[in-house]
Every structure is written in structure tokens, then in C-alpha cells.
Amino acid sequence: MSDPLTTRKPEPFVMVVFGASGDLTRRKLIPAIFQLWCQNHLPESAAIIGYSRSEKTDESFRAELCDSIRDSLKCQQHIIDDAAWETFASRIFYQRGAYDSPEDFAALGQRIKTLNVERNVPGNCMHYLATPPTAFADIITNLNSAGLARKGQSDPWSRIVIEKPFGTDLQSALELNRIAREAFDEEQIFRIDHYLGKETVQNIMVLRLANSIFEHLWCHDYIDHIQITAAESLGVGSRGGYYDKSGALRDMVQNHLMHLLCLVAMEPPVTLTADAIRDEKVKVLRSLRPISQQCAANGVVRAQYTLGEIDGQETPGYLQADNVPEDSNTETFVAFKAHVDNWRWSGVPFYLRTGKALPRRCTEISIHFEPIPQILFNRPPAGPLRPNVLTIRVQPDEGIALEFQAKAPGPAMNIKPLEMDFGYRESFGQAPPEAYQRLLLDAAVGDATLFTRSDEVQAAWEFVTPVIEGCACEANNVLQYPAGSWGPKEADELIEADGKQWRLK
Ligand SMILES: NC(=O)c1ccc[n+]([C@@H]2O[C@H](COP(=O)([O-])OP(=O)(O)OC[C@H]3O[C@@H](n4cnc5c(N)ncnc54)[C@H](OP(=O)(O)O)[C@@H]3O)[C@@H](O)[C@H]2O)c1
């Protein structure tokens, strides 16, 4: 994996953020870039141009960002350094323009040129697509026509960072790949999924491959099954209109869950280069046993939350959210069983689930080891004992825990399950950095390790698309669960049918 944050500094560059008036820019991107600036990871001459259709001036844009940065840093328990902000803000500019207007892109090109000269930037440019995906194709096409894509050129470099979701199914992803590849070489394209920038996600490889005790056990001989849960405690809030066109399968499974599955299941890469790691991830995706449309209709649990309570607060159901059609069939929860049909994972089920309006926000992977033989301590009445479980907490409270058995003090042979727990904050004395900080710096130095390659996106969609289509055939198969519960009872039955239970319940 690439060097840690501290050792890298990109060459001077201009970053253009499309969708500059939006939520992602305000809440995540600019705060992350500002943090990088404060930590001295950015070159002195770096400049940022916000581009969107809204009417703003450089000054009004800076003032808006200052307010949201204060909020965002406060949430992370940081205080804004006013002097640092003033210096940083003088490097932020705003360019109004439409996403489908060649003239506006020509004007953008001119603005970049002027800044390059004024700030002594050698022409390096990073384009960041932070708009809804409907605008991606127009932006890429216009960047190309305006000569801002510079396919194949590496000095000065031009790169594009494309936000998720990358397509809505296999066809649309292939089409977006085609458009992107017409304008840029694969090496210039950085498909982002911020989950991959999380420290604990990167730690999966370190845990497995930098510790001799785990990798030898990492196979069907010792592992009974693996669970991956990505739970959100919030409902769709005001984003019902957007979410209803997406649903949990497109919004979470195709990207976040597939990445986690790949990192847990992949073979050790030959080297730590971006392509060697991504080669192994693609192999996992290609080894996934296809779920046919018919199996999806019967075997994938899809559900919507209804009126319930989360943290003592009444939460209205999904169908009551703004801009959600009252007959919507979109799932806010999904659970299913997957199989990686290769030598290492033969016979090991992977249970995946994700949902909104669940009891708490948490993403974790749990590796459930084989039970020990039913002899000695594992015999009744002491046993059966709980098998060892290794849990990787991706968020929040990032860390790793190993559950094992120990004798409780006293004359009797009482055996109790205990946990060895590594917490990121306690061990390293600080919260892990925001994923966007890491990913923006990686893109600026040209390290694509934590970004998704085109064949990876394609393989993930090849697996997920028949599932989506199968579920769509069964128009009425969306179940219900009260907000604040762990999903419908069918999700429990899915795993209990194999004699297992969800770890989080
Ligand atoms: N927000 C997050 O936390 C988050 C997290 C992960 C990924 N993402 C991804 O990042 C991208 C941007 O997300 P966002 O939440 O920032 O989106 P947003 O606030 O809805 O939109 C960003 C900006 O894009 C422009 N825009 C262009 N076409 C638009 C359209 N058809 N409808 C609405 N706005 C349009 C708007 O600016 P103008 O009208 O001024 O041009 C808007 O302010 C999306 O692809 C999203 O999936 C977001």
C-alpha cells in the first residue's frame, strides 16, 4: 500500500471541483483539503476552483465555505485556525458555469490558464466530479472538447476523480467507462469510494498480511463463515428523491460492501502497487457465485423501514419521506448470502447486510472461526463454547477485537468468552483521519491504490445487476421492518437456516 500521509507532497496543481455549491463539497471535500493544507501536505501554490451553476463570487463562495468548515471541524472536535483559513481561502476561486456548455468550459480553461500563470503552477490539474451522476457524462465530454482532459499526457498531468455511484447498472457503468476512457487514460481516472480511504479498511490488509498468526488461518479449513454489516441509524431524511432511484443494492452493495468483501477474501498481492492489489480484488469479484434473477427473487431479503423509534426518537417510515412515491418498491435494507467459489473460500458463506434506520450506525466485518471439537471444555455442561470471532470495526469506534475463551477465577472450571480489543483512538491517541483527506492526497500524488479500476467496477456490476433485476421482477417482494430494528425477521431466518446468527442483533 502507498506511503503514509506524512511522507508525500504533490506537485503544484489546480483542483477544479464540479458541483461546488453542493453538500459533498461543503461538508467533506473542502474541510479535507483544508486539513491537508494545515498539515503542510499541499504545495504552497495549490489552487482550488469551485465550478457550478449557482451565482456566486470568489468572496461569497469563500464565506460559505468558511461557515461550513467551522461546522465540520467542530464535529471532529477541531478548532479552525483563522490565520490558516485566511491563507487557504485566498487560494479558492469560483467559476460559474453550466455542465453542458462548451462556452462555459472554454471560460473555465481560460481561468485555469490564468491561475497557472499567476500562481506558477506548471499546468497540473485535478478535476473532481462532485455533482449528481446525471451530470458526469456532460462534464467529461466538455472537459475533453475544451482540451482539459489531455488523454495520455503525464507532464503536466490531468486527472479526473469521479464520485460514486459509477453507473446504476452494468450497462450504464460500461457506458460511463466508455465516455471516461474516450477523454482520459485509465491511469488518469480515479473512481472514488470513500470507504476505501478509511483507516480500518486499509488495516484489513495489514492485519492479514503483516501478522503471521492470521493469514494461515484465513481459509475454509479454519473459518466457518464471514459476516459483513453496514448499518446506518438515519433514514433517508430529505434525500428521498435521490435514494428512491437507487436503493440499498445500488447505493451500498455494489460499491462499499463489494470492496469490503474483496479486501477480506483476496489473495495476497504480488506487490503493494495499485494494479497488483486491484488485480486480486477483481479475481474475488470474478469468483463470486452468480446469483441468478430467480435466486435473487427468492433468496435476497429486501425491505423498507416503517414507522419506528431510533434512540428514543420517533422515526417516520420510508414511504412517508419527502419525494418518495407512496407505492415505492425501493429497498432500504438488503441481506443475502454470497459464495466466493475459489480454493481458499470453498464452502465458506459470506453473509452481507446493509440498511437504513437500523438501531445504530456501524460497519463491521466479523470472521467466525470453526468451532473446536466437542471434547474437553466444549462438552456440555460447559460447552458448546462460542467459537472465536475476529471483528474488524470499520466505523465508528474503529478497531479490531478478538473474542476468545478464558477460565473465570475460582475453584470451578467456568469458561467465559472475553475480548482483546484494539481501539484506534486509544492506541494511536487520535481519531483516524477523514477518508477524504487520504484519498484526495492519493489522487494528487497519482496513487490509484484506493480507487476503483474499470474492470473492478464492471465485475461488481456483473454480480449485482442480475440481483437488482431479479428483485425488480418480483414487484411485491419488498418486506417491512420497523425503524430502529435490525431488519425484517426474514433476514434472521436467512442466516439461522444455516445454524448461525447475526453477530449484531
Ligand atoms: N454528500 C455526501 O455526503 C456524499 C458522500 C459520498 C458520495 N457522494 C456523491 O457525491 C456527488 C455529489 O453529492 P452531493 O450530495 O454534494 O450532491 P448535491 O448536493 O445534490 O449536488 C451537488 C451540486 O451539483 C449540482 N448539480 C448538477 N446537476 C444537478 C442535478 N441534476 N440535481 C441537483 N444538483 C445538480 C448542483 O449545483 P448547481 O446547481 O449550483 O450547479 C449541486 O449543488 C454524488 O455523486 C454523490 O453520490 C456524496
Domain that holds residue 247: 196-364+446-496
Question: Mean pLDDT per 10-residue run, the chain (505 residues)?
Answer: 59 97 94 92 95 97 91 70 91 98 98 95 97 96 97 93 95 97 97 90 92 94 98 92 93 95 96 94 97 84 96 93 94 97 97 97 97 87 89 93 94 90 90 89 95 96 93 79 97 96 93
Grid coordinates of 150: 489531455
**Domain end point (choices 191, 210, 238):** 191
- Would you say residue 64 lies in a domain? yes
- Would you say residue 186 lies in a domain? yes
CATH number of the domain within which 235 lies: 3.30.360.10
One domain, residues 262 and 338: yes
CA-CA-CA-CA torsion sign (407, 421, 337, 261): negative
One domain, residues 117 and 52: yes
- Would you say residue 436 lies in a domain? no
One domain, residues 94 and 227: no
pLDDT of residue 238: 87
**Domain end point (choices 173, 191, 209):** 191
- Would you say residue 265 lies in a domain? yes
Q: Is 256 a catalytic residue?
A: yes
Rounded Cα–Cα distance for residues 75 and 225 (Å): 37
- Would you say residue 310 lies in a domain? yes
One domain, residues 204 and 140: no
One domain, residues 17 and 85: yes
Grid coordinates of 315: 422515526
CA-CA-CA-CA torsion sign (23, 27, 28, 33): positive
- Would you say residue 382 lies in a domain? no
First-last CA distance in the chain: 34
pLDDT of residue 460: 97
DSSP 285-301: HHHBPP--HHHHHHHSE
Q: Of these residues, 41, 225, 256, 368, which one is catalytic?
A: 256
**Based on the structure, what is the number of domains in the chain?**
2
pLDDT of residue 377: 86
One domain, residues 146 and 211: no
The finding on whether 24 has its CB within 6 A of some atom of ligand 1 is yes
Give per-residue burial for 394-409: e unless 16+ CB within 10 Å, then b.
bbeebbbbbbebeeee
Ligand 1 centre to CA of 464 (Å) is 24
Asked if residue 215 lies in contact with residue 209, where contact means CB atoms within 8 angstroms, the answer is yes
CATH number of the domain within which 141 lies: 3.40.50.720
Burial of 206 (0-12, 13-18, 19+ CB in 10 A): exposed
Identify which of 398, 163, 353, 369 has the alpha carbon closest to the alpha carbon of residue 261: 353
- Would you say residue 242 lies in a domain? yes
One domain, residues 270 and 328: yes
What phi, psi does 174 have (nearest 5°)? -65, -40
One domain, residues 27 and 105: yes
**Domain end point (choices 191, 225, 245):** 191
One domain, residues 237 and 315: yes
pLDDT of residue 3: 43
The finding on whether 130 has its CB within 6 A of some atom of ligand 1 is yes
Angstrom CA distances, 88 to 18, 81, 402, stand at 19, 10, 43
One domain, residues 168 and 251: no
Rounded Cα–Cα distance for residues 22 and 439 (Å): 19
- Would you say residue 472 lies in a domain? yes
Establish how many alpha carbons lie within 13 A of residue 337's alpha carbon, considering only the half-sphere containing its beta carbon.
Answer: 20
Ligand 1 centre to CA of 491 (Å) is 32
Rounded Cα–Cα distance for residues 270 and 277 (Å): 8
One domain, residues 230 and 213: yes
pLDDT of residue 5: 47
Three-state secondary structure call for residue 348: coil
The finding on whether 53 has its CB within 6 A of some atom of ligand 1 is yes
The finding on whether 64 has its CB within 6 A of some atom of ligand 1 is no
The H-assigned helical ranges of 198-347 are: 199-209, 212-215, 240-244, 247-248, 258-265, 274-287, 293-299
pLDDT of residue 475: 59
One domain, residues 201 and 87: no
